[in-house]
Amino acid sequence: MSGNGFTARKALLVLAGFWAVGVVLLVGASFGSVGVERLRDAPACPADQVFTPAYCRITVDATVTALTSDQITMDVGGRRVAPEVYLHGTLPDRVAGLPVRVTIYRGAAVHVQGGTLNFDTADAPADHVDELRAAGLFFLIGGAVLVGVNALVRTRRRADLR
């Protein structure tokens, strides 16, 4: 039952490896969503804890001073806040002076909304949940497809040799 050194046992080991990686990624995605739930359920921050790592969140008014595809700079109550962002596409031409609402969670700006802007920052806890879930499904399905295609090819070769 071997063809070119790739036996059924090796195929099952490959399949098990793909499935193990897929399960780990799916479990990681479920833990990633826990961060989103914690953000959503966090109590409101008292004024003296807004920029501390205390487990709280608050949405405050701010003014955008600069925006690039990898960083936004804002004035939040007289304090300069410049979180990292991952923006794609065309950025608005005039953002300096734009009033926005900024959600701050555990001392970091996690969401910006106002005017044509509406995005999460790199500090947002939900940053890679969807990607982990998609990668996990890819490994689960891809492993089965890879091993199945290999089995079909080996079966076809054996039939041609007869």
Fold held by 41-120: OB fold (Dihydrolipoamide Acetyltransferase, E2P) (2.40.50)
Residue 125: pLDDT band by 50, 70, 90 thresholds?
Answer: confident
Q: By C-alpha distance, which of 30, 12, 29 is closest to 132? A: 29
Whole-model pTM over 0.75: no
Q: pLDDT tens digit string along 49-64? A: 999 999 999 999 999 9
38 DSSP 8-state letter: H
**pLDDT over 80 at 3, yes or no:** no
Q: Which helix (H) or strand (E) holds 78?
A: none
The whole-number average pLDDT for the span 80-89 is 94
Q: For residues 71 and 147, what is the distance between their CA atoms, to the nearest angstrom?
A: 44
Q: For residues 159 and 162, what is the distance between their CA atoms, to the nearest angstrom?
A: 5
> What are the domain boundaries of the chain?
8-36+128-161, 41-120
